[in-house]
Amino acid sequence: MSARVLVVERAQSQRPSSTQALKKRYDVMTASSGKHALALTREHLPNVIVLDAISMRTPGDRICQLLREHLPNIPLIHLYPGSKADSQSCADVILIQPFTARKLSNAIERLLSDKASVKAEDTVSRGPFTLYLSRRVLVFRDQETILTPKLSQLVEIFLRNPGQTLDRKLLMAQVWDTDYLGDTRTLDVHIRWFRRAVEDDPSKPLFLKTVRGIGYRLELPNADDSSMPELEPELTPP
């Protein structure tokens, strides 16, 4: 599968588009603004972002900052219409004119290589699920879902304990650092969000089961219960 590159550029620019050469090697998405780019990433998370500020006739520093704040773990290349000395860019790579399509492609490849070298401990994989911890991204059936910090913690607990019934008190203690069970609506909302990301019909879940009166259990397809890890000691409720 080709790497996915998101190019933020002005569609009607007079200069040749950055996307034409990139489409020969990558799965390219295009956005016309920073806000448009963020909207696209809610459904398809890119491997690399290219901010073509040259085509937009703006330094692009504010757009770059917006992208960095909302997508801190996605490598970012800034095609800058000035000198590096003038730039306040927070991008991983800044390219100044003139540069070739090959130089841009080489910069993308270096960032992809650096990203691929992240240690395996940065991910938790169980059955059809892979959670990227630092990026807070859940991958299921080739679909990527960006998680909130609390939802990422909740999903990680389930993935590390498949087949185990986790009670509500334990989940509240581990994710929200409280043993108060008078109001667990926050937990209920996060459970719904998890189900929406992975269930064909969240009202009839196949993976995240409700254990009435106790809590929840993540069931994996074709899982061998005898190989399931025991509940980690630090997850034992007080």
**Model confidence pLDDT, tens digit, residues 117-144:** 655 558 898 999 999 888 889 999 878 8
Residue 174 near residue 190, CB atoms below 8 Å: no
Residue 68 phi, psi dihedral angles, 5° rounding: -65, -40
Residue 73: CATH number of its domain: 3.40.50.2300
Mean pLDDT of the chain: 84
In tens, the pLDDT along 84-101 reads: 777 788 899 999 988 888
Domain with 194 in it: 121-235
d(CA 138, CA 29): 20
In tens, the pLDDT along 149-169 reads: 999 999 999 999 999 999 999
Of 186, 60, 221, 130, the C-alpha closest to 209 is 221
Are residues 74 and 32 both part of a single domain?
A: yes
Place of tokens 């409720």: 237
Final residue before a domain boundary, out of 67, 98, 116: 116
For the entire predicted model, the pTM comes to 0.53
In tens, the pLDDT along 38-66 reads: 999 887 889 999 999 998 888 999 999 99
Secondary structure class of 172 (helix, strand, coil): helix
Are residues 196 and 147 both part of a single domain?
A: yes
Are residues 69 and 134 both part of a single domain?
A: no
Are residues 230 and 131 both part of a single domain?
A: yes
Secondary structure class of 61 (helix, strand, coil): helix
Strand partners, 143: 140
Final residue before a domain boundary, out of 116, 151, 175: 116
What was the pLDDT predicted at 227?
Answer: 36
* Total tally of structural domains belonging to the chain: 2
Are residues 133 and 223 both part of a single domain?
A: yes
- pLDDT grade for 203, boundaries at 50, 70 and 90: very high
d(CA 230, CA 238): 17
Final residue before a domain boundary, out of 116, 150, 174: 116
Are residues 75 and 146 both part of a single domain?
A: no
The amino acid that residue 165 corresponds to is T
d(CA 192, CA 196): 6
Are residues 81 and 133 both part of a single domain?
A: no
Are residues 105 and 57 both part of a single domain?
A: yes
Of 237, 101, 90, the C-alpha closest to 161 is 237
Are residues 110 and 208 both part of a single domain?
A: no
Does residue 231 carry a pLDDT above 80?
no
